[in-house]
């Protein structure tokens, strides 16, 4: 026996599907953070740029490393959430104690000195953690949130998959 769907039920179903689709696209759109706050994301972006700067080749910002870190902290790297929250506060405190300015307000060379102080001081563990995550986001597969447009693969002359749906930035 065929079941008839009335117009009201049909419209409700279509509206629900449209809303679900819109919510799904919002969750993965760049600029929408899963774990990091906007100021934290900006700080992670600056730190990642120090670790993998742009020169004749793309750097961490080009590869979207901050999106990788944010995605991983909201998922498989949840155990590092506290380390990041505390570590990023320490970066700012160290910078203010050294230069009386926030990290974003100091020069490139001063940012380098702040990170060198962290690397050799009591916050060395956080520096190692964010450095490792920057490397993973830069050199890993784009499906994990970083290496946008396969920038590191292209830089190294590596083949990359041409399978539709593999590049999460498309």
Tell me whether residue 22 is in a domain: no
Domain that holds residue 47: 33-156
DSSP letter assigned to residue 144: G
pLDDT in tens, 1-10: 556 665 655 4
Contacts of 76 (CB under 8 A, 6+ apart): none
CA-closest candidate to residue 77, choices 146, 27, 165: 146
Tell me whether residue 46 is in a domain: yes
pLDDT in tens, 73-125: 999 999 999 999 999 999 999 999 999 999 999 999 999 999 999 999 888 99
Tell me whether residue 147 is in a domain: yes
Tell me whether residue 85 is in a domain: yes
Tell me whether residue 141 is in a domain: yes
- Please give the tally of structural domains in the chain: 1
Task: Decide if 51 contacts 119 (C-beta within 8 A).
Answer: no
Tell me whether residue 19 is in a domain: no
Average pLDDT, the chain: 81
Tell me whether residue 69 is in a domain: yes
Tell me whether residue 162 is in a domain: no
């Amino acid at each position: 026996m065929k079941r008839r769907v009335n117009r009201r039920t049909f419209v409700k179903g279509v509206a629900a599907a449209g809303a679900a689709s819109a919510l799904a696209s919002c969750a993965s759109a760049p600029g929408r953070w899963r774990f990091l706050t906007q100021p934290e994301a900006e700080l992670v972006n600056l730190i990642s740029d120090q670790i993998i700067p742009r020169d004749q080749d793309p750097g961490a910002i080009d590869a979207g490393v901050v999106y990788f870190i944010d995605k991983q902290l909201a998922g498989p790297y949840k155990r590092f959430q506290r380390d990041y929250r505390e570590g990023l506060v320490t970066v700012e405190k160290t910078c203010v104690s050294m230069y009386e300015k926030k990290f974003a307000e100091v020069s490139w060379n001063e940012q380098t000195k702040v990170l060198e102080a962290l690397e050799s001081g009591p916050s060395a563990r956080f520096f190692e953690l964010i450095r490792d995550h920057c490397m993973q986001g830069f050199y890993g597969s784009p499906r994990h949130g970083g290496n946008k447009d396969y920038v590191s693969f292209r830089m190294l002359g590596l083949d990359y998959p041409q399978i539709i749906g593999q590049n999460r930035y498309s």
